[in-house]
Chain A
Amino acid sequence: MFTQFFGSYLLNKKIVSPANLRLALEKKDSTRVKLGVLAINAGYMTAKQVDAVHRKQATVDKRIGDIAVEMGYLTEAQVEELLSSQKTGCLLLGQALVDMGCLTNEEFETVLKNYKKENDLTDKDFSEESNEKTENVISSFFSLEGEYSDYCSEYVNILFKNLIRFVGDDFTPLVNAEIGDNDLTVIQELCGDFSAVSAISLDDKAAAVFASRFAEEEVTDMDYAKDAISEFLNLSNGLYNVNISESTGKEIGLTPQESTTASAVKSIKAKFTLTIPVEFTFGTVIFTLAVI
């Protein structure tokens, strides 16, 4: 999930444009993370050294790793270690942006270092994505504090995991977005110690793609799309309920999902409303969690 928040970081700092980020998210799965990016991430080489190795490679017919060893930047053991290391989503996204010419190796080095520092993340955190670290990143991104912050950060954590697992990882959380007046909207109530109205809103174009991915079949009929989206909300809320009941021993009831209008969601009288907009490569999807 740090990949998605890394994308938001790049957008918010205006390091990449939304269009380039979308393109990089589309490309990242077919991107091969190169040794230079891996070495920068591990802190074994600086971007300047990586650039020097690349310049040298243009003049000799040798592998990057061999040149880096010859130039004394890496040991053979480090090359082996880097090549077999886990290629996290952040690195794939970074490499895609470097390949597209949107970032230089030096810019990537700086931005990755700052992102890790600002969010107190280590390389181990990137590969393990512990719930505690993830929820810290979520809380800070959505400025969650107070009575409901734990429920809300756990809600977003489960929601994003489900989006990644069942819809796709090509999305970026946004700080702000407004539900469109004509957006297809489905709500489901959670009732118990923590009572809230959850909602998903998206336009027809995004709805068709979202539903097709989730249903694993081509969806063009909007009623069927609504049915699939409704089931996604129920699935994610159900899994959230399972998590809450495991961690607190208390259960949350779920009401059947209902189709409604965007204005109905906007007018919910809530103690606290968390808007969770995400920008997928196919459109914007806005989740709402209104604590009542």
Chain B
Amino acid sequence: MEKDISKAKVLVCDDSMMVRNKMKKLLTAYGFTQINEACDGAQAVEKFADIIPDITFMDIVMPEMSGVDALRLIKTNSPDAVVIMATSVGTVGNLSEAIKLGANDFLQKPVDDEQLYRLLDNYFKKEN
């Protein structure tokens, strides 16, 4: 899948406002203009249905509903959704469960620009 960044919609799901702000800064610098946020797993599922983002970043440890449970619901309804797990708890157990549920990739927190952009380059093409 290669999409034009300026038209792409992003959903950032994390209970930390600081992390969401950092992600927004990095994503804006990459060229995204449509960045949406969710602060827990339940809100992530709701917003996903509402927006149908082209790419979703999902934390794992969140209140209300964990990122893994949110991933399960999102993938049940939208099997083609691109969901990237962005977490500090990148254990084999967590990751293999997320992969089984259809997660597309994994980012180790704290997410830095290099790591994020390398991953995004696989999904989006930039306009010259």
Interface residues on B, range: 20 to 34
B31 is an interface residue with CB less than 8 A from chain A: no
Bound CA span A45–B24, Å: 55
What are 26 A-to-B residue pairs whose CB atoms are below 8 Å?
A: A166-B110, A214-B18, A215-B21, A217-B21, A224-B18, A227-B18, A228-B16, A230-B16, A231-B18, A234-B16, A234-B61, A235-B88, A238-B88, A238-B89, A238-B109, A241-B89, A241-B91, A242-B91, A245-B91, A245-B92, A245-B93, A246-B92, A251-B94, A254-B89, A256-B15, A256-B61
Bound CA span A275–B90, Å: 27
Q: Is the CB of A256 within 8 A of B62?
A: yes
Bound CA span A228–B62, Å: 15
Interface residues on A, range: 20 to 34
A239 is an interface residue with CB less than 8 A from chain B: yes
Q: Is the CB of B93 within 8 A of A235?
A: no
Q: Mark A196-226, 1 if CB is under 8 A from B, else 0.
A: 0000000000000001001111000000100
Bound CA span A236–B16, Å: 14
Residues A227 and B17 in contact in the complex (CB < 8 Å), given A166-B110, A238-B109: yes
A-side interface mostly? helix
Q: Is the CB of B89 within 8 A of A224?
A: no
Residues of B within 8 A of A (CB): 15-19, 21-22, 61-63, 87-94, 109-110
Q: Is the CB of B61 within 8 A of A251?
A: no
Bound CA span A166–B91, Å: 21
Bound CA span A251–B92, Å: 9
Q: Is the CB of A242 within 8 A of B93?
A: no
Bound CA span A275–B93, Å: 30
Q: Is the CB of A242 within 8 A of B18?
A: no
10 A-B pairs with least C-beta separation: A238-B88, A238-B89, A231-B16, A245-B91, A256-B63, A235-B88, A228-B18, A251-B93, A227-B17, A215-B18
Q: Is the CB of B89 within 8 A of A227?
A: no
| B94 surroundings in chain A (CB, below 8 A) | 251
| A237 surroundings in chain B (CB, below 8 A) | 88
Within 8 A of B (CB), among A222-269: 224, 227-228, 230-231, 234-239, 241-242, 245-246, 251, 254-257
| A217 surroundings in chain B (CB, below 8 A) | 21
Residue of A215, A238, A241, A254 with most partner-chain B CB within 10 A: A238
